[in-house]
Amino acid sequence: MGRYICKRLLLIIPTLFLILLINFIVVQIAPGGPVEQAIQQAESFRPPGAALQASEHSSLGAESRYQGTRGLSPEMVEKIKQQYGFDQPATTRFWLMLKGYLQLDLGNSFFKDKAVTQLIWERLPVTLSLGLWSTLLIYLVAIPLGIQKARRHGSAFDQFSSLFLAIGYAVPAFVFAILCIVLFAGGSYWQWFPLQGLVSDHFAELSLLERIGDYFWHITLPILSVVLGGFAGLCYLTKYSFLEELNKPYVLAARAKGLNEQQVLYGQVFRNAMLVVIAGLPEALIGIFFASNLFIEIIFNLDGLGLLGFEAIQQRDYPVIFGTLFIYTVLGLLLRLVSDVIYQWIDPRIHFDAIGGR
């Protein structure tokens, strides 16, 4: 297993390089970059007397790749390009970015006047809070419910719970978030929970117990929205995984030996059935942390990594885009490796070294 882990860790390097390279190329050819935005902003604040200057440089618009340069001198355009580092070739900028990443330097934001690492560090607690609590609750709800549905397949309980699961599967998390606001955050009915933010304005003045209560008071509705919108898929996966295992011959043999239902279910079936659930854990974590939480962060005004990345894409803030992409990719690759390790821990019959990895 140690040899397999070393191989996977080494494989992360070329995988990460290719992902960053492909995304760098795609982002570079996308229109509306920071230079274009800066030129447009300079044009919008140009004094009225600059109209004559615009006519003098009208020929520049046909020669330049930037559409808003007709009112700016070539020297001003060149200064804007230097400000964002676009006076250098794309290959040079890419290698400088990689060199910085090797030194754990993700660069500085074009628009927020902060280091990308500082922005990520500031936003990370919100994303971790939502992701860890919602993932824990989703698994605590979905797995036991899925097991019970498998045991009582076709019963009234199975059919009745499937109705609610169908609703949870079809309705996205942000719709549940809006519904929670309408019902419980002063939208139209009760004002039991705050509308936005992770903590109160006077959080620093509270005692330790009051801080804990204030934190959970604020995060209840965001977590509830994520859980309601995310547990149905895992519940169905658990149910059909257990159903498949319950119909296999080894289960009949275990029952024939006199083992009771609990011994069969948790001593024989559980280990095999949970392999499929664990295999999807990395994708589930990435989805919950960085995809499902995006709209939740926007709706509840929570400054997390999802909102940070979304704002960076809108502004074409390239250092933030690539910095968050770098973090997402590294976490995703490491989570998949952790998943494989847990895979073998649950079922020692799996030997990745014997099959040479995957």
Structure tokens at 309: 């990345």
What DSSP character marks residue 185? B
d(CA 176, CA 224): 8
d(CA 216, CA 242): 34
- One domain, residues 168 and 252: yes
- One domain, residues 47 and 148: no
d(CA 229, CA 174): 8
**Residue 171: inside a domain, yes or no?**
yes
**Residue 11: inside a domain, yes or no?**
no
CB atoms near residue 308 (< 10 Å): 27
Question: Which residues does residue 191 pair with via DSSP β-bridges, in sequence order?
Answer: 185
Structure tokens at 6: 């070393």
pLDDT at 66: 45
d(CA 231, CA 156): 20
**Residue 12: inside a domain, yes or no?**
no
Domain boundary among 87, 105, 133: 87
**Residue 149: inside a domain, yes or no?**
yes
Count of domains in the chain?
Answer: 2
d(CA 194, CA 218): 6
Parent domain of 135: 116-355
pLDDT at 71: 55
pTM: 0.71
**Residue 75: inside a domain, yes or no?**
yes
**Residue 94: inside a domain, yes or no?**
no
With CA atoms as reference, report the closest residue to 38 among 3, 5, 86, 2: 86
- One domain, residues 56 and 182: no
What Å distances lie between residue 325 and 19, 20, 90, 287, 332, CA to CA?
9, 8, 18, 14, 10
- One domain, residues 199 and 341: yes
**Residue 190: inside a domain, yes or no?**
yes
- One domain, residues 138 and 283: yes
With CA atoms as reference, report the closest residue to 83 among 28, 120, 44, 33: 33
d(CA 31, CA 232): 39
- One domain, residues 79 and 226: no
pLDDT at 132: 82
- One domain, residues 55 and 193: no
Please give the chain's pLDDT, 358 residues, in tens. Answer: 677 778 878 888 888 889 888 888 887 776 666 666 666 666 565 554 444 444 444 343 434 444 444 455 666 666 666 666 666 777 888 888 888 888 888 888 887 878 888 888 888 888 888 888 888 888 888 888 988 888 888 888 888 888 888 888 888 888 888 888 888 877 667 778 877 777 777 777 788 888 888 888 888 888 888 888 778 888 888 888 888 888 888 888 888 887 777 777 777 788 778 777 776 676 677 666 666 677 788 888 788 887 788 788 877 788 888 888 888 788 878 877 877 777 677 666 666 655 544 4
pLDDT at 56: 43
d(CA 164, CA 231): 11
pLDDT at 61: 40
- One domain, residues 72 and 123: no
pLDDT at 54: 40
Name 16's Cβ contacts closer than 8 Å, sequence gap at least 6: 326, 329, 330, 333
Q: What are phi and psi of 181, to 5 degrees?
A: -65, -45
- One domain, residues 285 and 217: yes
Question: Which residues does residue 115 pair with via DSSP β-bridges, in sequence order?
Answer: 108
- One domain, residues 187 and 57: no
- CATH classification at residue 292: 1.10.3720.10
**Residue 327: inside a domain, yes or no?**
yes
- One domain, residues 343 and 217: yes
Q: Are 149 and 239 in contact (CB under 8 A)?
A: yes
- One domain, residues 228 and 285: yes
What DSSP character marks residue 291? I
